[in-house]
């Protein structure tokens, strides 16, 4: 099935389904159980890849990848009838973004997925990413709602797996009303996990908390080739166009702790050169 093919055009009843190089004849409950087991193992093996391990480590508060969102990814893979060979990083990011679309009220955290899924020139490829997300959604028959019970049924098949220990803390759960606490976004590639003052994670002495590389600072409108500067650490900001609502996304370094409130951003003119230079 191609990525662009609408699931509604596919016959509902099929006599044979081929998944990842093996086939089954419709009808047998044993073959269904075997297929489900292979799908689960392929998904859990995918999570073990070092690149996805790094991605998950940059979301210590589980804002965009808690156990329920990860379980939804596997449900989406199954609803789209993905072959085992299609259990890839790219499809995981598409499905995870769609799961966040469905379940999360806050838009900003999931935008970090763009940086991981699309790489350095992510802002040039966002529209293609969203188009692929819609193709996956179509392959699922536009069935993106997943119940809590369905997620727990998925997790029950491998209860002791570490992915199902990613329990979002109460201070990060539920709809927020009134003033919102300052919650750091999940980290982009090459940065250490952001420190969260609400739950104190990761601890300051964590072995994975290292000094980050300088972030790109754009002195003018964002362009595909931003200039790199190395101002003091507290002044390092990553600025890029917001592909969803326009304007800009500004991601501070994890060491910069801001109190809740509204801030004004001022762009200071370049100071005049010192006399004699």
Instruction: Give the range of the structural domain holding residue 106, as residue numbers without chain letter.
Output: 50-165
Question: What pLDDT score was predicted for residue 262?
Answer: 56
Question: What pLDDT score was predicted for residue 218?
Answer: 30
Residue 18 lies in a domain: no
Question: What pLDDT score was predicted for residue 2?
Answer: 46
Question: What pLDDT score was predicted for residue 95?
Answer: 98
Residue 236 lies in a domain: no
Residue 23 lies in a domain: no
Please tell me the number of Cα atoms within 13 Å of 85 on its side-chain side: 5
Instruction: Say which DSSP state 109 is in.
Output: G
* Overall number of domains in the chain: 1
Backbone angles phi, psi at 25, to 5 degrees: -85, 140
| CA atoms of 61 and 183, how far apart (whole Å) | 9
CB distance 166 to 70 below 8 Å: yes
Question: What pLDDT score was predicted for residue 192?
Answer: 63
Residue 258 lies in a domain: no
Question: What pLDDT score was predicted for residue 110?
Answer: 94
Tens-of-pLDDT digits for all 277 residues of the chain? 444 444 443 333 333 333 343 434 445 667 999 999 999 999 999 999 999 999 999 998 899 999 999 999 999 999 999 999 999 999 999 999 999 999 998 888 999 999 999 998 999 999 999 999 999 999 999 999 999 999 999 999 999 999 999 999 886 665 444 445 455 667 678 666 666 766 665 544 333 333 333 333 333 333 333 333 333 333 445 555 555 545 555 655 554 555 555 555 655 555 555 555 5
29-47 helix and 67-79 helix, angle to the nearest 10 degrees: 130
Residue 58 lies in a domain: yes
| CA atoms of 47 and 200, how far apart (whole Å) | 25
Residue 235 lies in a domain: no
Residue 67 lies in a domain: yes
The 3-state DSSP composition of the chain as helix, strand, coil percent (nearest 5) reads 40, 5, 55
Question: What pLDDT score was predicted for residue 272?
Answer: 57
| CA atoms of 247 and 262, how far apart (whole Å) | 17
Residue 214 lies in a domain: no
């Amino acid at each position: 099935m191609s990525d662009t093919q609408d699931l509604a055009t596919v016959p509902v009843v099929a006599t044979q389904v081929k998944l990842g190089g093996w086939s089954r004849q419709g009808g047998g409950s044993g073959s269904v159980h075997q297929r489900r087991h292979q799908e689960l193992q392929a998904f859990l093996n995918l999570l073990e890849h070092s690149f996805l391990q790094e991605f998950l480590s940059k979301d210590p508060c589980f804002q965009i990848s808690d156990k329920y969102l990860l379980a939804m990814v596997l449900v989406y893979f199954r609803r789209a009838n993905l072959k085992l060979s299609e259990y890839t990083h790219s499809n995981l990011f598409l499905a995870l973004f769609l799961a966040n679309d469905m379940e999360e009220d806050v838009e900003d955290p999931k935008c970090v997925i763009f940086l991981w899924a699309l790489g350095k020139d992510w802002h040039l490829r966002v529209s293609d990413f969203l188009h692929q997300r819609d193709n996956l959604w179509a392959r699922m028959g536009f069935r993106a709602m997943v119940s809590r019970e369905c997620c727990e049924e998925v997790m029950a098949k491998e209860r002791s797996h570490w992915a199902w220990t990613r329990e979002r803390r109460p201070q990060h759960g539920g709809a927020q009303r009134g003033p919102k606490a300052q919650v750091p976004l999940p980290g982009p590639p090459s940065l250490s996990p952001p420190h969260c003052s609400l739950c104190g994670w990761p601890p300051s002495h964590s072995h994975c908390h290292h000094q980050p590389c300088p972030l790109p600072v754009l002195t003018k409108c964002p362009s595909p080739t931003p200039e790199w500067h190395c101002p003091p650490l507290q002044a390092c900001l990553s600025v890029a166009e917001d592909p969803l609502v326009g304007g800009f996304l500004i991601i501070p370094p994890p060491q910069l702790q801001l109190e809740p409130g509204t801030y004004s951003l001022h762009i200071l003119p370049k100071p005049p050169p010192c006399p004699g230079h």
